[in-house]
């Protein structure tokens, strides 16, 4: 960061703190803090979930979802990746693959 940019950031920060101290906390500050601590599901982070060219199983899906539940993301985007990977038993869009997607999306994780 350049010295001028650093000075601008400090000045703006100090002005913001000064205004906040002078005006007091906004009326909804406590609810804002509570919402920040526990955001609604629509605002929670999501993770990418790669299924590596059909190398996926019911047990692996369950383990992944349980680990995601412990970590706390609000959801996942599922991708089937197949670039130069050995093909697994659940080829993309096969009946077995769709059953695995059903398993991943219909359980109460």
The per-residue pLDDT for 31 is 84
Whether 91 contacts 51, CB under 8 Å: no
Distance CA 104, CA 42 (A): 19
Give the mean pLDDT of 37-43: 82
pLDDT top residue among 102 and 10: 102
Residue 67: pLDDT band with limits 50, 70, 90: very high
User: CA 89 → CA 6, 55, 70, 92, 96, distances in Å?
Assistant: 55, 6, 28, 10, 8
Structural domain spans, the chain: 1-38, 39-109
Query: Which tens digits make up the pLDDT trace of 50-60?
Result: 999 999 999 99
Q: Where is 75: in which H helix or E strand?
A: strand 75-81
- Give the pTM: 0.63
């Amino acid at each position: 960061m350049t010295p001028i940019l650093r000075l601008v950031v400090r000045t703006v920060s100090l002005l913001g703190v000064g205004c906040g101290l002078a005006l007091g906390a906004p009326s909804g500050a406590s609810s804002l803090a509570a919402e920040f601590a526990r955001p609604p599901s629509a605002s929670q982070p999501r993770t990418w979930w790669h299924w590596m060219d059909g190398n996926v199983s019911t047990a692996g899906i369950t383990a992944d979802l349980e680990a995601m539940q412990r970590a706390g993301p609000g959801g996942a985007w599922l991708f089937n990746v197949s670039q130069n990977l050995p093909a697994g038993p659940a080829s993309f869009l096969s009946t077995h693959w769709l059953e695995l997607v059903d398993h991943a999306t219909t359980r109460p994780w």
